[in-house]
Chain A
Amino acid sequence: MESHETLKHYKILPIFRGFLFEILGNIFGILLVVLVRVLMRLPAWKPEPAIVVGSLFGALFFLYGVGVLDDWFKWVAGGETPEHEDEVGQWGWKRYFSVSHDHKVIGMQYLALALILFTVGGTFALIFRTELAEPGLQFLSPIEYNTLMSLHGIVMIIGILIGISAVMNYTVPLLIGAKDMAFPRLNAFSFWIAVPSVVILLSSMAFGGFDTGWTGYPPLSIRAPLGMQMFFLGVSLSSFSSILSALNILVTVIRLRARGMTPFRLPIFIWAAIATSVIAMTATQLIGLAFQMVMLERLLGMGFFDPINGGNPILFEHLFWFYSHPAVYVFILPGLGVISELLPVFVRKPLYGYKWVAMSSLGIAFSGFLVWGHHMFASGMAEYLRQPFMYSTLLVAVPTGVKFFSWVATLWKGKISFPTPMLFVLGSIVVFLLGGLSGPPNGTVSTDLLLNNTYFILGHFHDTLFGGYVLPFFAAIYYWWPKMTGKRLNEKLGKVHFWLMAPPMVVLTLLMMRIGLLGMRRRVDDYDPSLGFTPYHIIMTIMGFLIGLSVIFFFINVWLTAKRGEVVKGNVWESRSPEWQVPNPMPVHNYDREVIVVGNPYDYGLPGSRYVIFEGDEIPPDEGAAKPQLVPEPTSGNS
């Protein structure tokens, strides 16, 4: 255990060093603003610019303090830094709290941050869910309710984006047989910029909160308390995490695939990762821009969105939804990719219609760019835009339908087994189906004008995000946990986790849809008892707590497994994927021999078929004579 050379000079744990520097950066930024204001002969102290600039410098100083910029500074000075492959030493548990260039460590750092955010966001939800159980305001003030409701939304969204980065960072290089990502330093940067941005985002609670919901529509957001700025700044900064991570994934997939891994021999999850990264890399800039424009409007009075100052609030909605609708495909595409990836493993059958599923991911991504207007049917957008957006929205159902067809056909007559990851996969198909079926009523203008801003919308998107993201996310965790830690998560506790999570979610969202149809408005802290919604709200609150309980079971499971879990050495799920052909946990530099792809990824159950071999392996004699070639051959009947 030789200690890492670049880490030696840090006396304290880099993450704490980062937070220390963040505080210094805050002070520096505030002093800078005071200085500039004094020089400009303005009153020295104005809270809003001082705190915003202070937080911005805090984030920059954090990055410096944690050490993620060190290598780049060395390059600037004309020096050389060791390649990731040359880095030796593990530095024990401390490497999870310091800058590591290993994609597996970064993936687990992302995972920890995502789970923290889910816990925080879920706690917010439980707090205001409890408040909603009875009509009237019991223990929250309206601004507290609004802040918690808004933060629940945005914390969950950032958590999902980080959770996607977790799954993609960990699995993509493994699935394509690469040693690491194409840009390991950029990868570390993408993670570490998320940390201060989350801190800034959550600090909005300390600065008066905000009351716009997660969408932050102006002109309300121009007049909201100072917490609004922290929300905008936090989301803008974390958008860099998403963008750079997506860029890295794309280059990695294009450049570092294993030999013989032609486009239609890519694991299906990689197709989803490509589709999601294309959206995240491009459209994310627009939410960052829209939020920065509101920040500028608040700081300098620039009239972008406030009609009083010549602006146009609809413009914000366009810029915002141009990202934020494709963003939901950023959330669900990796989830659906996980479903398609894991299903054949547990059904022991080839994935049905591989090429169609691969193309459907791209289809969802590209049609996703054309549908943002369906969020604005009731916003005052030009009326002639409604129909085209309605049709393009309904078009998204086609590639999604392809995926469902493939899943059902893959399940058909398979040898299905039901370990925990498979339960989550099946659960997500069911829940996502509910979300999908409740989508067209929102996408159709005539019904949306009725359903707009009701609990029906809540039911719809909680189902899609739960089925399309949360359940596949846990499936992926249960599936790849042995790869990450060398120990398998406890099956019994895992099943308790599933049965406490999925069915209550279905009940919760169906009730949301029901009272939404009956007229319950979303985002309100109170409702009229005479509407008769109280029993529904009580049941929904109980269901919310059951979901919270299920997550506690998950954490207990993680803890118990770490203490005395079942150590698993080999291919736990009998998968054909290259990462399961090497020991658990994954070796430091992934594959010490080159991975060579010689067959199709999902030919489960086809005798004599192979997906990967390692350099130096002999091709088995029974097929060696017939097909030693590395070029693709006609697929075996399923695509």
Chain B
Amino acid sequence: MVETSEIVQAKKTSPYQLGLQVFIVLAILTAVEFVFAFYLNVWPVLALVALSKGGLVMYYYMHISRLFEVDRTEDRESFAYKLSSNRLGLWFFMLSDGFIFGGLFIARFNLLALSRPDVNQFLGLTITSVLLISSFFANRAEVSMEHGNKSRALSSLLITIILGLLFLIGVLGVEWRIAPFGPGDGAQGAVFYSMTGFHAFHVLTGIIFLTIIRRNIARDRFTSEKHWGVEAAVVYWHFVDFIWIFFYPALYLIGVVIH
């Protein structure tokens, strides 16, 4: 008995620590990426860093391994069975959505090659950090929900939403205003405003989802066993972060500035 309770105890604490550890690694990688881009701008290394960050987010925050869990039940009507189907559906949706961003990515390198728009570096690093921190809190919210810690889930979600709004203000309110070019100014305007715009639209929808589930957590619509809505919104939020992990170097770091 003692042993099992210890295991339960270990399970309860470790995911918080895991989330934090992953976040610290992500933060270090982001710093490395940023510094590297200024001293030695070789795009394959930046791509490698972005890929590692994306992999970390996908594995530890988005829990891609849950897709491969064996069904505990054969009962098609049960919550557990439908949960697995829902997860599969969500991942297919993200795969499909990823093709939009992939298309924008291709357009960016086709039109601008190894040059990049003239944008504010400090702001770029700030909003990237904001989004990364928000991902940490989103993960914390989900883990808290799993452990039935409602108040912690609520506070974490609130922080996530506020950080998301800060990101939006950073991109739409500040970045778009101070950029030295408009959407109609050649290929760099087109690339920059479309990539940030499509991404900001996803951030906005993510904020809406998080707000909805936060309200429903507050009204006790989810339990620690049944909280697919929380999981879906949080995974979607990580997906938006995942996309930005690749957009950030593509827009801010890779290549030389167009003047």
Contact = CB atoms under 8 A, between A and B. Distances in A.
Whether A associates with B in a native complex is yes
Given A293-B194, A302-B194, A78 B111 contact: no
Contacts of B97: 285
A247 B111 contact: no
A247 B92 contact: yes
A247 B93 contact: yes
A4 B164 CA distance: 41
A243 B89 contact: no
A219 to B, nearest CB: 14
Interface in A200-245: 243
Contacts of B77: 83, 85
B186 interface: yes
Given A247-B93, A251-B85, A281-B95, A297 B103 contact: no
A52 interface: no
A312 B92 CA distance: 31
Contacts of A301: 183-184
Interface string A89-105: 00000000000000000
Contacts of A254: 88
Interface string A265-309: 000000000000000011111101110010011001111100001
Nearest to B76: A256
Contacts of B93: 247
Q: How large is the interface on A (under 10, 10 to 19, 20 to 34, 35 or more residues)?
A: 35 or more
A282 B99 contact: yes
A385 interface: no
A630 to B, nearest CB: 12
Contacts of B212: 76
A315 B92 contact: no
A243 B96 contact: yes
* Contact residues of A: prevailing secondary structure: helix
B111 A315 contact: yes
Nearest to B211: A76
Given A247-B89, A256-B76, A319-B107, A304 B190 contact: yes
B189 interface: yes
Given A183-B89, A256-B76, A302 B189 contact: yes
A311 B111 contact: yes
B219 interface: yes
A310 B100 contact: no
B41 interface: no
A327 interface: no
A182 interface: yes
Given A281-B96, A293-B107, A315-B107, A303 B184 contact: yes
A186 B89 CA distance: 10
A301 B183 CA distance: 7
Contact of A312 (B81, B100, B111, B219): B111
A50 to B, nearest CB: 19
Given A281-B96, A282-B95, A319-B106, A309 B89 contact: no
Given A256-B76, A283-B99, A285-B99, A304 B106 contact: no
Interface string B214-231: 011001010000000100
A627 interface: no
A577 to B, nearest CB: 20
B184 to A, nearest CB: 3
Contacts of B193: 300, 302
Contact of A255 (B88, B96, B107, B219): B88
Given A78-B221, A301-B184, A251 B107 contact: no
B84 interface: yes
Most buried by A among B99, B185, B212, B216: B99
Nearest to B216: A78
A186 B93 CA distance: 12
A182 B96 CA distance: 18
Contacts of A259: 74
B204 interface: no
B184 A309 contact: yes
A310 B187 contact: yes
Most buried by B among A76, A289, A302: A302
B107 A304 contact: yes
A451 interface: no
A12 to B, nearest CB: 30
A285 B103 contact: yes
Contacts of A281: 92, 95-96
Contact of B103 (A76, A78, A289, A302): A289
A250 interface: yes
B106 to A, nearest CB: 7
Nearest to B221: A78
Contacts of A247: 89, 92-93, 96
A250 B103 CA distance: 23
B37 interface: no
A255 B85 contact: yes
A332 B216 CA distance: 45
A286 B103 contact: yes
Contacts of B184: 300-303, 309
Contacts of A289: 99-100, 103-104
Interface in A447-475: none
Given A78-B215, A303-B186, A286 B99 contact: yes
A83 to B, nearest CB: 8
A312 B110 contact: yes
Interface of A: 75-76, 78, 83, 85, 179, 182-183, 186, 243, 247-248, 250-251, 254-256, 259, 281-286, 288-290, 293, 296-297, 300-304, 309-312, 315, 318-319
10 contacts: A75-B229, A186-B89, A254-B88, A256-B76, A282-B95, A283-B99, A285-B103, A303-B185, A310-B111, A312-B187
Nearest 8 pairs of A and B residues by beta carbon? A301-B184, A310-B186, A302-B190, A285-B99, A310-B187, A289-B103, A255-B85, A78-B221
Given A255-B85, A315-B106, A315-B110, 4 more contacts: A78-B216, A248-B89, A282-B96, A290-B103
